[in-house]
Amino acid sequence: MKIINDILQHIAYSIANDEYVWTDQEKVAIKDNSHIAGEWSDLFISVNAFLNTNGGAIIIGIKDDEDNNKFIFNGFDARNESKLRTLVAEFTDVDGNPRDISDYIRFDVVSFLSGEVVVVYIDPLPDDSKYLYYKGNAYQRLVSGDSKIPGLKATTTDDQILTEAFIEDEVVVATEPEVIEENAIAEEEVQEEQEAVKPAFQQLYSAELITIFGSDYISLEPDLKQMLAYIYERNMDMGANKYPNADEISDRLWALKGGIGSAVEVDMHKKKVKKTLFLMEKNDMIIRIKATYRLNMGYEVVKNLFN
């Protein structure tokens, strides 16, 4: 599969040049393999998420160390083959009945650097077969990774699993914005809110950026405008650190959003920023040199970037 070959080439380049090249996580997941039960559980969750969404692939044998911005190649340990084969029997329907997924999954051993990795290809379930569950929960695959599918009931499992699911759901609910009836906020509060965010958004519509990117700049999503504005602002600086890295861009955008949120929300935000930078680079909006970013001043068309 071309996408797998491309990603492996990117990773090989990253390792050889000590340069982190973030990969598109929506269709392909990268997992290290080990004997730690928790890490195998993480692999099973990703398989479940791909089954319940649009399918995808998992590369096993490489650690994606996002905290330190590097890939670590460990290779696939053949002694783990029996554990990998249990994938086909790890999932159940909503009533807790085992479901064999042999028809939707296949394995391939691929040579990589000095060893091998295993690629697990997962086909999506037909609509009339959705959803399957892993240890009482059904997952979906998003750009930011795997998450529980909201609104689906948990299967009848042991009390511990149900308790863990309840606690996780409580955390998610606690971080969701409160639904407020229209006109429930006093007019003066609305005005104060607008004044608070006005300075941050004023710079997003600068004449210089519109001159560079054309009128299509105005049609871009707010997050993308903010990222472009910040990269442009930094690039115009005459200092030594004029080209920001992904963490600096992420921190700046988070500050513009108010800088308040849980650790989970911050992590999701960072992943979204990396995904957006990946798409911007892929579409020639920005140029990445080492781990820093600069605007591609020759780029003319930005409308419909994500189509």
Which range, of 10-24, 92-106, 131-145, 168-182, averages the lowest pLDDT?
168-182
| Banded pLDDT at 52 (limits 50, 70, 90) | very high
Q: Are residues 106 and 6 in the same domain?
A: yes
Domain count, the chain: 2
Q: Are residues 130 and 31 in the same domain?
A: yes
d(CA 193, CA 183): 14
Q: Are residues 111 and 256 in the same domain?
A: no
Residues facing residue 92 across a β-bridge:
98, 133
Quote the pLDDT of residue 17. 87
* Residue from 144, 131, 152 nearest 25 by CA: 144
Is the separation of the CB atoms in 259 and 269 below 8 Å?
Answer: no
More confident residue, 289 or 132: 132
Which of 138, 156, 174 delimits the end of a domain?
A: 156
Share of the chain above pLDDT 70, in %: 68
More confident residue, 34 or 87: 87
Q: Are residues 151 and 205 in the same domain?
A: no
Quote the pLDDT of residue 164. 42
Q: Are residues 13 and 147 in the same domain?
A: yes
CATH code, 40: 3.30.950.30
DSSP state for residue 137 in the 8-state scheme: B
Q: Are residues 146 and 219 in the same domain?
A: no
23 domain-assigned: yes
| Helix H or strand E encompassing 45 | helix 37-52
- Mean pLDDT estimate for the chain: 74
Whether 10 shows a pLDDT value over 90: the answer reads no
Residue identified by tokens 């003066």 is 188
Q: Are residues 150 and 191 in the same domain?
A: no
Structure tokens at 240: 């030594």
More confident residue, 245 or 165: 245
- Mean pLDDT over 234-241 rounds to 74
Q: Are residues 37 and 132 in the same domain?
A: yes
Whether 121 shows a pLDDT value over 90: the answer reads yes
Whether 227 shows a pLDDT value over 90: the answer reads no
Quote the pLDDT of residue 123. 94
More confident residue, 169 or 50: 50
- Mean pLDDT over 65-86 rounds to 82
167 domain-assigned: no
* Residue from 122, 110, 100 nearest 9 by CA: 110
| Banded pLDDT at 167 (limits 50, 70, 90) | very low
45 domain-assigned: yes
Q: Are residues 139 and 17 in the same domain?
A: yes
pLDDT digits (tens, 9 = 90+) for 270-304: 888 887 787 777 767 788 887 888 877 665 544 34
Residues facing residue 106 across a β-bridge:
121
- Print the domain residue range for 86: 2-156
231 domain-assigned: yes
d(CA 52, CA 48): 6
Q: Are residues 147 and 214 in the same domain?
A: no
Residues facing residue 117 across a β-bridge:
110
Q: Are residues 116 and 238 in the same domain?
A: no
How many other CB atoms sit within 10 Å of the CB of residue 25? Answer: 21
Give alpha helix (H) positions in 133-186. 159-175
d(CA 91, CA 136): 9
* Residue from 78, 30, 37, 20 nearest 56 by CA: 30
Whether 145 shows a pLDDT value over 80: the answer reads no
36 domain-assigned: yes
59 domain-assigned: yes
pLDDT digits (tens, 9 = 90+) for 170-223: 333 334 444 444 444 444 443 444 443 333 333 433 455 555 555 555 556 667
Q: Which residues contact 226 (CB under 8 A, 6 or more apart)?
A: 200, 204, 252, 253, 256
Q: Are residues 133 and 194 in the same domain?
A: no
233 domain-assigned: yes
- Mean pLDDT over 151-169 rounds to 46
Quote the pLDDT of residue 22. 67
* Residue from 241, 236, 193, 194 nearest 212 by CA: 236
How many other CB atoms sit within 10 Å of the CB of residue 24? Answer: 16
Quote the pLDDT of residue 215. 58
Whether 27 shows a pLDDT value over 50: the answer reads yes
126 domain-assigned: yes
